[in-house]
Amino acid sequence: MGDILINKTNHVLKKISQKTSWAPQIIQDVDEIPKGDMPGDIIKIGPKHIQKAQLIFPKMLELVIPVLEKSPFKRAVIALCGGSGVGKSETASLLSYFLNQTGLGSYTLSGDNYFHRIPRYNDAERLRIFRYSGINGLIFNGLYSLELRDKLKELQESGKDTHPELVKEYPWLSTYQKEGRRGLKNYLGTNDEINFNELSSIIYKFKNGESKIYLKRMGREESELWYDLLDFSDKNIIIIEWTHGNNQNLQGIDIPILLSSTPQETLEHRKARKRDKGVDSSFTTTVLSLEQELIMSQASSAKLIISKDGDIITYKDYIRKMMQDWDVEAENE
């Protein structure tokens, strides 16, 4: 099967190289397009996703062809990363569809399957770390007392301990929230939260020619954990759609592509998709803000960066626009 894929890919690459330009694919029915592999994920492809994918695809094709040509097994791995709700799942599904139309076999993989815990347990762990770190910060700074303890317990039980506006009423809450963020930052996007080694191993197997690979499936319930044996004998490319697709702990990514968004835009997307049911919005905002800082710190290694308006931009322009957008959001709060 390996020789068949190699010969087929060489033929496809030759045909692609003879084309002077790429015409956007006409999509008759978006419901027929294969989606990512995260159980229970709601993926709704709209006109903006199609427009963005059509913008990305020619540039992505230019980048992936040399990778495929150099690969002994004619395989490459692309990561589509960015904040939650920015449209990674939809855009990745479209890019895979376009690749398959050219004759390059593509599979869309969701990195969310590789967290250590199902979403509600991971949300609980994030909150535990935030609160534990916050309390230790109060103790370290000599602010903790029995009176404070009782008030903090009251705020925690009502879910208001992460509300920044309460700092004016309780000044010590500033230290609590600052240290809580510090502790949470040391957890988000790390090996403590995510099994990067497992996903990196899958990437390694794929790029080294394995035809059948077990992929993890993890839904939102304890019982929703299993593995599927996937046949990759006709696949050239895996597109990983994931917030942490450009994370330094993930090995083997050939082409990281960043979709830009601000934490506030991400929060609105998550609300619309009911991604944080039962989680306080102020804590979700804290998590998204820290994740955005992590994404920004890794953005310089992205091969393509797409603005929220759907334009291809430079890294410098991305940082400048992000800082401007954050300033505007801060003024509106």
pLDDT along the chain (333 residues), means of 10: 84 84 75 78 85 94 96 97 90 94 95 96 97 98 97 96 96 98 98 98 98 96 95 97 97 97 63 51 91 95 92 93 69 53
| Residue 259, φ and ψ in degrees, nearest 5 | -100, 120
- 312-313 and 304-306: which strand pairing? antiparallel
Q: Measured between alpha carbons, how far is 331 from 333 in angstroms, rounded to an integer?
A: 6
Q: Which residue intervals of the chain are DSSP H helices?
A: 2-18, 47-70, 88-102, 119-140, 146-157, 172-185, 196-207, 263-272, 281-298, 315-332
Tens of pLDDT, residue by residue over 245-296, are 999 999 999 999 999 987 666 656 555 554 545 455 889 989 999 999 999 9
150 exposure class (CB count in 10 Å sphere: 0-12, 13-18, 19+): exposed
pLDDT at 230: 97
- Residues in contact with 74: Cβ distance below 8 Å, sequence separation at least 6, in sequence order: 5, 6, 9, 10, 68, 236
Instruction: Compute CA distances 123 → 38, 165, 179, 284, 288, whole Å.
Output: 18, 22, 18, 9, 12
Q: What is the SS3 assignment for 132?
A: helix
Query: Whole-prediction pTM value?
Result: 0.91
- Residues in contact with 160: Cβ distance below 8 Å, sequence separation at least 6, in sequence order: 166, 280, 282
Query: What does the block give as tokens for 180?
Result: 């809580």
pLDDT at 278: 47
- Residues in contact with 62: Cβ distance below 8 Å, sequence separation at least 6, in sequence order: none
Give percent helix, percent strand, percent coil of the chain, each to the nearest 5: 55, 15, 35
User: Is residue 300 within 8 Å of 315, Cβ to Cβ?
Assistant: yes
User: Is residue 173 within 8 Å of 223, Cβ to Cβ?
Assistant: no
Instruction: Compute CA distances 216 → 206, 225, 231, 243, 274, whole Å.
Output: 15, 7, 14, 17, 24
Closest by alpha carbon to 288, among 161, 162, 132, 200? 162
pLDDT at 65: 96
Q: Measured between alpha carbons, how far is 71 from 299 in angstroms, rounded to an integer?
A: 25
